[in-house]
Structure 1
Amino acid sequence: MTKRYSVFVSSTYEDLKEERKEVIQALLELDCIPIGMELFPATDDDQWTLIQELIEDSDYYILIIGGRYGSMNKKGISYTQMEYEYAVSIGVPVISFIPKHPDQIVTGKTDKSSEKENKLKEFKTLVSEKMIKFWNTPEELGSVVSRSLVKLIKSKPRIGWVKADQISSDQANLEILELKQKVYELEEKLKISLETENSNLIQDNDLFKVMYVYKLNGIGRYLTDFMEIPFNNLFSKTCSILIDEGKESELKSFISAYIAHLLLEKSPEKKDINIIDDNFMSIIIQLKALGLIEKSIRKRSLKDSGTYWQLTPKGDTLITNLRAKTKIPNSSDLPPTIT
């Protein structure tokens, strides 16, 4: 039977919002059911009682540690640590993720209190007694969580949840349908959250600064210059190679060729044009942040070490709308002119 597993995601919140979103997205892609306090409405139940019930109902427990210890109870123990210790005490398999370079965490995301700093160190020591993994960036954390959870599921299988057509109990069928609805609602919340954040990114007809190098008349040393291109133009003219999938190096060549095309009439003396590597990666990150492209996961030979990208459904829809030709009405189709 195909199972879905519920996973409780525990961490401090304000300083790890991006990390939590990446982890929740990774869990949804694994067909797991993420459980986190920010995804549930307020209730009349005592908060700690509700948390305990959620942990008890979870198949696995994930702990993300950043640079803060978190708010504490009257005994001076953070709620995050209370959640972790409770999960361990009732036998829920746990896996913790600790920053590889904690000294590089920005000051605004660390504790200013020496007391909390010491408590965080002690908490890390406690957590290190069980399975831990390290992470650097939110994106890397999502990938590490995916790989680690798959291994944890294999080594410590849990009851999980199965599809309604694989069990006979009417009550179980109802529960599965409710869980499916919950997963759908979580996916919609995540989608809305990402769209809201993306509203501040350069997109549509906003101008994107493209840096490139060239040789004057094709001789001498490389010189640097830039041009500003409407982002939709940059996307539609260069990313058609990703409709199926395309190699990262080929996409870079496409963008360089597009820059050369734009400069052909305006600056024909500029030859051997290539986009600057760092600027190319900025374009990749921008396209990824807008949800227009994603890494291809097709299997390839071991000799092929290249990175491949493909359009997401959102990217495919946008490039189709931008590139598809619209019909120009005939003069006979136009309304008569009134004089």
Structure 2
Amino acid sequence: MDKRYQVFVSSTFADLQDERKKVQQAIMELDCIPVGMELFPAIDEEQFDFIKKVIDDSDYYLLIIGGRYGTLSSTGVSYTELEYRYAISKGIKVIAFLHKDPDSLPLSRSEGEASAREKLAAFRQEVSGNRLVQFWATADQLPGLTLASLIRTMKTYPAVGWVRGDQTVNPSIYKEMDDLRKENQQLKDKLSDGSAKGVMDFENMAGLDDEIELIGYGHDKDGELFSPARRWKANVTWRDIFKSVSPKCVGLLSENEIDSIVAGNVYCVSDIKSDGLTSNYLDEKTLHTIRAQFRVLGLFKMKATSLGVFLWSLTPKGEAEMLNSLVARKKD
């Protein structure tokens, strides 16, 4: 039975149209159904009652916060915040993406009045204080964040979903489908592992215990406002990088999450670790080198989606290496 989840995409509208399109494309990439402001771009009190019904019918709620607080309701609270509060009250799982540097946005995409900026800061604080959030800087980062966050949320918190009315359920089919899926995955893993061993053999290639200098960037955090990015560097081994990522890569991880995990861990041993930077991320060339190295070593396989986002997963060789590094051993 083909089940699809409905995802309500909430944000201010006029300033985040490109971001919304990219998020919605990523949602459709996972065979889910995106719904949101496109159905009712001009909102008022009467339409908000209809919006609540749409949220009721949704399995997940995805919130994008940029530099605008949004249109105010009669209570002085933005409709975006009202949507968020309603989803929370209904127990719907929330995925939240906050712009990491709202002060860098142009005036047309930010709030000019101090009262609106204060409400936006308070809203950001409320959202980030109740759950783990992801930070974004450009629209191109959102598809990867969406894929990774939605995959993880669907796996951890499976919802009711939607099915076609003419579909019938035959329980005996499930086991056969699952067996075929497992067999197919095993064949893919063998091909992937064999390709890594047989083709990708480069002279003088660095191993897991060799060092690499990583370059990254982070922000000084002052409340909810982020300063311009500052550059840092750190020397670590490939094994250090692998050990930081592999335990979290049981399923699929987007390259955005790989970036965040590695940068967050490596910054702690960087040349300016005492400065307490936050929202760290890797230099683009550094990230590409990491991707290539682990692929050549046969530890990860990468799948590029139609949106150009790389999804990482462990190969059988990578899983064995991860387990070997984590398993408890007898004491002498």
Given the two structures, how large is their TM-score scaled by the length of structure 2? 0.50
Which structure is larger by alpha-carbon Rg, 1 or 2?
1
